[in-house]
Amino acid sequence: MLRRSFAVLGAALALGAGPALAQGTVPVGAIEILSGPSAAYGIAIRSGLELALDEINVKGVLGGSKIVLTVEDSAANKDQAINAARKLIGRDKVIAIIGPTISNEMFALGPVVNERKIPIVGTSTTAVGITDIGPYVFRTSLPEADVIPVTLKHAKSHGVKSIALLYANDDAFSKSGFDVMKAAAEAAGLTIVATESFSQKDTDFSAQLTKIKALKPDAVGISALLEPTSGVLLQARQLGFGKETLFIGGNGSNSPKLGEIAGAAAEGLIVGSPWFIGKPDAVNQKFVADFRGKFSKDPDQFAAQAYDTMKIVAAAIDRAGAADPVKVRDALTQTKFSGVMGPFAFTPGRDPASAEGVVVLMMQGGKFSIAP
């Protein structure tokens, strides 16, 4: 299991066996997918957190204390995620947890952390019902319910009248995203010609795709994480799906890794996102430049959401006036922030308050850019 601490001061102490709550440090934890097929998400998130932390720890919080961030790998495994939380809370005495990466983990982990009265802030969890887990559960990521309708409206305005839906039936995000896609397709007046599902670990989607191809839908909506989505796209091209079919993804598709794995098969796929790399405002352009400087690669949506979230948590710690989880939770509810994602506040239900600024992106030349 990976474990890394980031801070100029305090790192040695946090790594040692002694009490983690050293004077002058504020322990914060993160639980992310750093290994396995979905690691691209968690690694992007960790990078965004690290970049923000560099900036935050110049001044520190609470009058000069450094935030010590300990990032644990969940490997997308619910039990590993719960163990990570127990370690962060018991060993490191964290006062807030960022993550976990996927909704499937949050539904298992959220209740455990909520019960311990430690605020937990998802930066990428988009399923319906995440914040209903309890009063300590927040998310900064726009739920699929806010994003998918925008994507489907775009598809409709580009001539899509019929759609087939395909989703992973054993992942909470993928199932929820499918429910949202179905409802949004109906609301947009699209004809749903087929609904097909598969298991996350499947590598053969030919039965579902052959069935769909015979029905000749204008679009295929895929609700799944990175690896199965890539597999579906690669196999669809092999089966002869061409440019006449618009492939539509959900938040699982929102990683440049899709272009790396699926290559030309991902070309033309569209996906909605609250962020894109070309967002022209100065805050975002500085973020992109700093990220490239530190990591020698482009940030993605997941890194951007994590970058803002680290700052939102740091600001809440300052407003709380103490390294106290209950006070930090209360301070989080009062968040007023402006970052790379734009202006940000929480609803009374601890979801992002504004769904403005959703853009529809298209994979073009192996990268996402604004869809024509």
- Cβ proximity to ligand 1QQ, 126 vs 273, nearer residue: 126
Which residues fall within 8 angstroms of residue 328, CB to CB, at 6 or more apart? 95, 96, 119, 313, 316, 317, 320
Q: Under the criterion CB under 6 A, does residue 70 sit at the interface with ligand 1QQ?
A: no
Q: Nearest approach, Cβ of 124 to ligand 1QQ (angstroms)? A: 4
- Cβ proximity to ligand 1QQ, 27 vs 177, nearer residue: 177
Q: Under the criterion CB under 6 A, does residue 305 sit at the interface with ligand 1QQ?
A: no
Q: Under the criterion CB under 6 A, does residue 252 sit at the interface with ligand 1QQ?
A: yes
d(CA 207, CA 244): 20
- Cβ proximity to ligand 1QQ, 27 vs 42, nearer residue: 42
Q: Under the criterion CB under 6 A, does residue 126 sit at the interface with ligand 1QQ?
A: yes
Residue whose beta carbon is closest to ligand 1QQ: 173
Which residues fall within 8 angstroms of residue 108, CB to CB, at 6 or more apart? 78, 79, 81, 82
- Cβ proximity to ligand 1QQ, 198 vs 217, nearer residue: 198
Among 47, 70, 80, 101, binds ligand 1QQ (CB under 6 A): 101
d(CA 47, CA 291): 8
Q: Under the criterion CB under 6 A, does residue 61 sit at the interface with ligand 1QQ?
A: no
Among 65, 124, 223, 301, binds ligand 1QQ (CB under 6 A): 124
Q: Under the criterion CB under 6 A, does residue 151 sit at the interface with ligand 1QQ?
A: no
- Cβ proximity to ligand 1QQ, 124 vs 335, nearer residue: 124
Q: Under the criterion CB under 6 A, does residue 65 sit at the interface with ligand 1QQ?
A: no
Q: For Cα atoms 230, 139, 274, give the angle at the middle one, nearest 5 degrees.
A: 55
- Number of residues engaging ligand 1QQ in binding (CB under 6 A): 12
d(CA 128, CA 111): 15
**Residue at 95: amino acid letter:** I
Among 151, 251, 305, 335, binds ligand 1QQ (CB under 6 A): 251
Give the up-direction half-sphere exposure of residue 223: CA atoms within 13 A in the CB hemisphere.
29
Q: Under the criterion CB under 6 A, does residue 341 sit at the interface with ligand 1QQ?
A: no
- Cβ proximity to ligand 1QQ, 43 vs 220, nearer residue: 43
Q: Under the criterion CB under 6 A, does residue 80 sit at the interface with ligand 1QQ?
A: no
Which residues fall within 8 angstroms of residue 56, CB to CB, at 6 or more apart? 67, 310, 311, 314
Contact 72, 323 (CB under 8 A): no
- Cβ proximity to ligand 1QQ, 107 vs 136, nearer residue: 107
Q: Under the criterion CB under 6 A, does residue 273 sit at the interface with ligand 1QQ?
A: no
Contact 300, 255 (CB under 8 A): yes
Q: Under the criterion CB under 6 A, does residue 107 sit at the interface with ligand 1QQ?
A: no
Q: Nearest approach, Cβ of 194 to ligand 1QQ (angstroms)? A: 23
Among 22, 30, 31, 127, binds ligand 1QQ (CB under 6 A): 127
Q: Under the criterion CB under 6 A, does residue 41 sit at the interface with ligand 1QQ?
A: yes
| Options 122-130, 178-186, 215-223, 343-351: segment touching ligand 1QQ (CB under 6 A) | 122-130
Q: Nearest approach, Cβ of 191 to ligand 1QQ (angstroms)? A: 27
Among 30, 44, 102, 363, binds ligand 1QQ (CB under 6 A): 102
Q: Give the max Cα distance, the chain.
A: 66
- Cβ proximity to ligand 1QQ, 80 vs 103, nearer residue: 103
Query: For binding to ligand 1QQ (CB under 6 A), which residues are involved?
Result: 41, 101-103, 124-127, 173, 225, 251-252
